[in-house]
Amino acid sequence: MSEEGIAKKGSFKKGERGYLDNQHRASLVRFLIPCVITVILTICTWVIFPQYGMVFLCLAVISAIPTAMAAVNLIMFMRFRSIGEEDHKRIEEVRGNILIFYDSVITTSEKSFFVPCIGVLNKNTMLLIPPDMKDEEALIRHLNLMSKKNGFREWNIKSFKGTDEFVKRLKVLSDQKLKVLKKDEEMIKLISSLSL
């Protein structure tokens, strides 16, 4: 881990590289605490205080609800990993003034889509998607729908399978010396609101 990564450990914001890995740790803690409480209450029901069994059993059942919710949250985050250090360095070398959003998991009612990196500049949104993603058209349709609902007209959303193609596109846009528009910043906020 780089010195920068060590300095920022535990303080990742949505859109920064390392956010998903940080969420893994946080989700695990949020799962373990209610899980331990549920186990302790269950032990109290049968072993320590059998005369108050029903009270502790009710408390154990009630404490199982946040445990189950935390387990679902943990499973959701454990499916995805932060973008690799090498890919991150390659993107940062060519990004110029392009707005970058890392470690995005965009959710729809049907599916969650992992997008390791999103670049936004001058009404262009570039998505770096995993090579094994099968339903990229659904992701692009969803982003187009959400962007149109939020007032983004004539917006170009394009996906790239693989870091090489993505970096080439970033370099082309960076070399054009385009200015960051206010709408670009608003698009990053929209992406942030659509992401886990």
Shared domain check, 143 and 110: yes
- On whether residue 132 sits in a domain, the answer given is yes
- On whether residue 15 sits in a domain, the answer given is no
Shared domain check, 188 and 94: yes
Q: Hunting for tokens 């110029």 — which residue is that? A: 96
Shared domain check, 92 and 115: yes
* pTM assigned to the model: 0.75
Query: What is the distance, to the nearest Å, from the Cα of residue 165 to the centroid of all Cα atoms in its chain?
Result: 22
- On whether residue 90 sits in a domain, the answer given is yes
Shared domain check, 168 and 103: yes
pLDDT for 19-32, tens place per residue? 777 777 888 898 99
Pairing of the two strands 112-121 and 124-129 = antiparallel
Check residue 8 and give its pLDDT.
47
Check residue 4 and give its pLDDT.
45
pLDDT band at residue 10 under the 50/70/90 scheme? low
Print the domain residue range for 161.
Answer: 85-194
pLDDT band at residue 3 under the 50/70/90 scheme? very low
- On whether residue 33 sits in a domain, the answer given is yes
Segments in the chain forming alpha helices (H) = 3-8, 19-43, 53-78, 85-94, 136-149, 163-175, 182-194
pLDDT for 103-144, tens place per residue? 888 888 888 888 888 888 888 888 988 888 888 888 888 888
- On whether residue 44 sits in a domain, the answer given is yes
Check residue 51 and give its pLDDT.
75
Segments in 79-135 forming alpha helices (H) = 85-94
Number of neighbours of residue 91 by Cβ within 10 angstroms: 22
Please determine, for residue 7, whether its predicted confidence score (pLDDT) is greater than 50. no
Shared domain check, 156 and 120: yes
Shared domain check, 89 and 53: no
- On whether residue 7 sits in a domain, the answer given is no
160/137 Cα distance (integer angstroms): 12
| Count: domains in the chain | 2
pLDDT for 69-91, tens place per residue? 999 888 887 888 878 888 888 88
- On whether residue 4 sits in a domain, the answer given is no
8/10 Cα distance (integer angstroms): 6
Which of 56, 78, 100 is at the close of a domain? 78
